[in-house]
Amino acid sequence: MAAPATPRSRGDVEHTGPVISLRGVSRSYRVGGGTVDALTDVDLDVSAGELVVVLGPSGCGKTTLLNMIGALDVPTSGEVTIAGRVLAGASRADLFRYRRETVSFVFQTFNLFPTLTALENVRFAVEVSGRRDHGEARAALESVGLGERVQHFPGQMSGGEQQRVAIARALATGNPVILADEPTGELDFRTGVQILELLRAQALAGHTVVVVTHNREISRAADRVVELSGGRLVADGPPPGGRVDVGALRW
Ligand code: ADP
Ligand code: MG
């Protein structure tokens, strides 16, 4: 079966291997007189079209790992390669462009602008990614079921609706890599299922999707579960018992 086409940001060269590749990635923080090893010697490859769930308890290094992939932070040692490019070798301008045009983050706390409407929030992200909005912003909001809420401000929406705006923002940019940090963390079951289905649809469309969670039940709907414990990758494979449909999850 042919692999789905990889959506690419403008100017990217044709690339065939994994979209995300980490080799021996470690990140330590100096705190007071000591060090905290947030991530230790992680190897990871993620291909276009995959929905990978990173699973582990609070403090195991999940956000640190996403920050490495999203170039929001730099490893203490090891190498991060995205679409064939080593991030450590990139210029500041390249990194800036990478953050705008290649990755879309969905944060647990949404990070919407409170003074912009849903539509304006999504449009702003499209423009920041260097594109013009030709209706993509509205279409993305409609795709997450918020067609009737485009003129609402974040403060006028529920947590689940705000999270869906944050997802629409990630979809509207068309960026090929989607990184979601506990996107269902504060949502009720039904909304959580909707969010997961949206992310799965993105993967099916050829995006590379990494979702972080501490909820093992959510991980059952992934193609692949990468488990972290104390900053180390301790498992990487299909969920035990095989993948189940999002609709079959219980939480
Ligand atoms: P998770 O997202 O799985 O909850 P994190 O990646 O946020 O875990 O954190 C992993 C570990 O690194 C934790 O022990 C945390 O306290 C520590 N840590 C994270 N960020 C920092 C920082 N900026 N300075 C010091 N320690 C940090
Ligand atoms: Mg975290």
Lowest mean pLDDT among 90-94, 106-110, 141-145, 227-231: 106-110
Cα angle, residue 38 at apex, residues 93 and 221 outer, rounded to 5°: 85
Contact 162, 112 (CB under 8 A): yes
Nearest listed ligand to the Cα of residue 67? 1
Confidence at 9, pLDDT banded by 50, 70, 90: very low
Buried b (16+ CB within 10 A) or exposed e, 32-56: eeeeebbbbebebebbbbbbbbbbb
Structure tokens at 190: 């039904």
**CA gap 108, 91 in Å, rounded:** 29
Any bridge partners for residue 55, and if so which?
213, 227
More confident residue, 230 or 159: 230
Look at residue 218 in the predicted model and tell me its pLDDT: 82
Question: What pTM did the predictor assign?
Answer: 0.89
Ligand 1 centre to CA of 231 (Å) is 9
Q: How far is CA 234 from CA 69, 130, 207, 231, in A?
A: 18, 38, 25, 9
pLDDT tens sequence across 19-44: 999 999 999 999 998 999 999 999 99
Kindly tell me if the per-residue pLDDT of 46 is higher than 70. yes
Look at residue 28 in the predicted model and tell me its pLDDT: 97
Backbone angles phi, psi at 146, to 5 degrees: -115, 25
Q: How many CB atoms lie within 10 A of CB 162?
A: 24
Look at residue 1 in the predicted model and tell me its pLDDT: 43
Contact 235, 43 (CB under 8 A): no
Name the residue type at position 217: E
The percent of residues above 70 in pLDDT, for the chain, comes to: 93
**Ligand 1, atom nearest to 29 Cα:** 25
Look at residue 174 in the predicted model and tell me its pLDDT: 87
Contact 60, 228 (CB under 8 A): yes
The percent of residues above 90 in pLDDT, for the chain, comes to: 59
Ligand 1 centre to CA of 236 (Å) is 21
Q: Closest by alpha carbon to 107, among 51, 136, 134, 67?
A: 67
What would the mean pLDDT of 189-200 be, rounded to a whole number?
Answer: 80
* Pocket lined around ligand 1, Cβ cut-off 6 Å: 29, 31, 36, 38, 56, 58-64
**Ligand 1, atom nearest to 65 Cα:** 6
Look at residue 14 in the predicted model and tell me its pLDDT: 59
Kindly tell me if the per-residue pLDDT of 207 is higher than 90. yes
Sheet holding 34-46, edge to edge: 34-46, 20-31, 77-82, 85-86
Q: Which residue has the CA at smallest separation from atom 12 of ligand 1?
A: 38
Q: How many CB atoms lie within 10 A of CB 167?
A: 27
Averaged pLDDT of the chain: 88
Kindly tell me if the per-residue pLDDT of 161 is higher than 80. yes
Confidence at 5, pLDDT banded by 50, 70, 90: very low
Ligand 2 centre to CA of 189 (Å) is 20
What would the mean pLDDT of 57-86 be, rounded to a whole number?
Answer: 94
Ligand 1 mutation target, pool 36, 69, 182, most atoms within 8 A of CB: 36
Look at residue 251 in the predicted model and tell me its pLDDT: 62
Q: DSSP label at 55?
A: E
Confidence at 67, pLDDT banded by 50, 70, 90: very high
